[in-house]
Amino acid sequence: MRFRLIPREEKFYEDFLAAADNIVAAAKLLDEMLSSDPPSVGKAAEIKELEHQCDYLTHEIFQRLHKTFVTPIDREDIHALASSLDDVMDAIDAAAHLFEQYKITQLRDGVRHFSRIIVIACEQIRLALKHMEQHEAVTPSVVEINRLENEADRVHQEVISALFVDETDPITLIKWKEIFDYLEGAVDSIEDVSDVIQGVVLKHA
């Protein structure tokens, strides 16, 4: 029978999944915010609270990392995974804040498409983390996240092209260009988490 004199600290997985739960919740709040016109900007405060919770979890992971002798995966991978998950939350929070900051009263085409992509991609991140914890295949989730990122790139190109054709007010154009860039950036940050997960799994295969 194989055993370890010093057991691995497995609570890292619990914290990763808790962070993923917060990210999925924030993505759904963003989607709810953008489901009405004008957007329900009050949801931004709820997203900010989830962002604070995610910051606390990230801090706890880093603190535990310094105190733990044996970790379930390499230390640099734990750090990269925690940081990339936190980046997703920050990106969702930043995107939500712009709708409040810029006092957006009417949504443009493509916004809700982005928010749905973000929700689905975040759910795939949580699924991939659960599979990684259970030593199951993460490839289906990684492939789906890559597909969603490509879809987000296509949507971004379409909405930016339409923006420069349709919008005559330069201030409004600048605001919406930044909003769309942030929404695309949120999807890019989700793919970064997927890349870290895939790298960890390949390393330990």
User: Which domains are present in the chain?
Assistant: 11-203 (1.20.58.220)
Q: What is the dihedral of CA 108, 109, 110, 111, to 10 degrees?
A: 30
HSE of 144, CA atoms in CB hemisphere, 13 A: 16
Give helix 75-101 / helix 111-133 axis angle, nearest 10°.
160
Binned average pLDDT, 10 residues per bin, the chain of 205 residues: 47 93 98 96 97 96 86 90 97 97 95 98 97 92 98 98 96 98 98 96 83
Report the candidate in 82, 155, 81 with the shortest Cα–Cα distance to residue 118. Answer: 155
Quick check: bond before 38 cis, omega within 30? yes
Q: What size, in residues, is the chain?
A: 205
Backbone angles phi, psi at 68, to 5 degrees: -95, 130
- pLDDT for 8 equals 60
The pLDDT tens digits for 125-153 are 999 999 998 889 999 999 999 999 999 99
Backbone angles phi, psi at 167, to 5 degrees: -90, 125
- If you search the block for the tokens 């909003």, which residue do you land on? 179
Neighbours of 94 (CB within 10 A): 17
Residue 137's SS3 state is coil
CA dist list (Å): 188 to 22, 126, 134: 18, 16, 26
| CA 110/CA 167 separation, integer angstroms | 15
Report the candidate in 114, 122, 146, 112 with the shortest Cα–Cα distance to residue 24. Answer: 122
| CA 35/CA 201 separation, integer angstroms | 36
Full-prediction pTM beyond 0.85? yes
